Amino acid sequence: MEKPNPKREKLTIIVAQVFISCLMALLMTFFFAVLPEALRTDFAPGWGWIWLRDWLTAWPVAFVLSLGVGPLAFKLAFWLLHPRRITE
């Protein structure tokens, strides 16, 4: 069995963070755009364009933050699931 290429693994993590940040920003901005409109029972004119603008603003921010938070989240998950390996 071949050893994984560390550069390729790093690239996979970055590409995954692009997808994760994109989808999370898309879903969260959609949720926060639709929820107030749904509670009013009518959608204001242009709400879709406002949502798209908010998503285009949120995605780059989410991506940059995921680059910082992602490694911490992986370390915390590893620590939680493999506590003995850290103390050894």
In the chain, the N- to C-terminal Cα span, in Å, equals 27
Q: Using CA atoms, how far apart are residues 53 and 81, in angstroms rounded to an integer?
A: 39
Rg, Å, the chain Cα set: 19
Write the CA distances from 33 to 42, 57, 62, 72, 81, integer angstroms.
12, 14, 17, 30, 36
Contact 69, 31 (CB under 8 A): no
Summarised one tens digit per residue, pLDDT across range 10-62 is: 788 888 888 888 888 888 888 887 777 667 667 778 878 888 898 888 898 88
Residue corresponding to tokens 């908010």: 54
Asked whether the predicted pLDDT for residue 87 surpasses 60, the reply is: no
